[in-house]
Structure 1
Amino acid sequence: MMILSGILLSTPAAARSPEINDIQLGDTIFVYESGLNLSKLRAHVDYPVTSLRQYRDDDPGNAFINEIPISDDTSVTILEGLVGDYYGIYFAYNPTNGTSANRNVRILKPTLEIDVVLAHPYHYESAPALERIPDTTRLAVKIISPDVGNYYRVETTNYAEVDIVITGPAGAETTMIGNTNLAAVKLTGTETFTDTDANRGTFTLGQMGTGRYEIQARWKKPQAFANYAEDSNIISFTIGTVTPAPTPTQIPTTPEPTATPIPTPTTGPVTPEPTLTPTAEPVTPEPTPASSAIIIPLTAFALILFSYYRRERV
């Protein structure tokens, strides 16, 4: 038993003719392409296309919002810097003829995405979504490139191609897994599966050995895509025999000794000190002065006695 863990990371098809660089009305072209022949977009044979214009709401009656200048409409290079963020419908323009609604092409960016899936007929099952995969499980790579897969072709030939590159544990790169060659996979539609080609077949984890791997789709054809277009996401995964993790040995914990409490010293009953009651000294009341109503009669009576006493002496 092996384990695989990791992160993975339309419209109707149109065709160019007679050659891949010969662009017809309504075709889809891609940034990075070069040598494109746009002469079929001329309104008149004597008036070459001088620019491609994108109009607001894809209506040539509105103001244009981006323009790609063209010096020779028989050999045109679509630079990413000239397109910027303005992907979509562009109309052929000439200052003499102006433009018209049917003389247009669509400009897109080539994109790639991959996933590892179970082999046919189980392509909808993403392999990393399964917890455990037996090393004999047949697998394939799903390549997602809806625009290039549908529009870069001449009838049923001259498709864009990618290499599925596997980086092994030591860093070496290859397009082989066992006897399965994953080089030069043709992009024939929105999704392409590497096992739909009878000459290519499937692969298993058992053919790869243990270790950490990466899988990526890289542009091979056209050369402009290989030179400038971004390759796919990278799927990183590890193959190895499942070994249960050892249970860690529990080291017994010696409890810390409990401290003996210090006894509280016993104290005898406390005899309260006697409360001294202060001796109150007797208070001698002050004499109350006699009323003036009493003093006046007494004074008169004393004068009478004094007068009487003198008469007796005389």
Structure 2
Amino acid sequence: MRARSTPSVIGHRGAPGYRPEHTRAAYELAFALGADAVEPDIVATKDGVLVVRHENEISGTTNVADHPEFAGRRTTKEVDGVALTGWFTEDFTWSELSVLRARERLPQVRQASATFDDRYPILRLSDVLEVVDSASDAASRALGLVAELKHATYFEAAGLPLDELFVDALADAGWSDHPGLVVESFEKTVLGRLSVRGFRGRRVYLVEAEGAPADRVASLGAAAPGYASDVTLRGLYALGSAASPADRVDGISVDVGQILHSGSVSMGLFGEDEGGVDIGAVTSDLVDLAHSAGLSVYCWTLRPENGMLPREFRTGGRDDEWGDWRRLFAILLHSGVDGVFADHPDLAVAVRDGR
């Protein structure tokens, strides 16, 4: 029986199951629903202001296409090896972006959230920090922030170093020593640069199930080792025990599929003490291996909709209808992970706390 923990519930981009992601309403609602922290995705503007958007291409999450004054900004760029056409934050000043309004990114799946389209402006990182401070005061406890730096190598090449901008923004907001501060990235290089700049929070390495990190590809090309090399036993110990502090991280963050292990070989990892959960999938040994290497483990993303669930947890309804989410959430929350990212924080809190 593996050791149990009480994982943190992190509002993934706020509470995007209920309100358009990365809006003040989504973040405030996440805390009202019991989240311990929220997670903003961070990109940069042309004038070096950090804003929170899922991607630097914003046509799917804002009403930018409805603004004729910005029609000439539509362009095609290659971001981390992928050609994208649309509007990009680095081509706008913050003053220009501030006139835009947020939209639901997945309207076919989340029609209720889409009814709030165009109500809320987009936010800067500084705005999110204010929300966390206010929610902490209201809750009489320190709530947290798990900030994801997006496309760091790309922004570095554009003259917008996210590590420098991030550290400066924290200092300006009085957040440099905040106890609930975590930063994460799919690129370990930017996490190392934060260490060199004296960043005092926890640094977490996001690990995809496939592919290779953009920073490695930029440096090594086709010879770049993939993410798979990071989650071997050797790779995990290298992450947790590297000689240089800049090369070490405090944890890893992986998707649901990397925690689950389909089949019956390891079904004994869970018993009837898990609230009678009918196990249709069990966990891999990744959590145990990472913990043995001194790393925390986070898991993303807990979502209830059929279209978002692993196949074995879907029911016969439409993609927007909820499937067997409770069973999946229970498995993940009892897997030993230290935190989970959830689009509906209240559901994760309810399962975690046995409600």
- Name the TM-score, length of structure 1 as normaliser: 0.24
Rg larger for = 1
| Higher percent of residues as strand | 1
- Name the TM-score, length of structure 2 as normaliser: 0.22
| Higher percent of residues as helix | 2
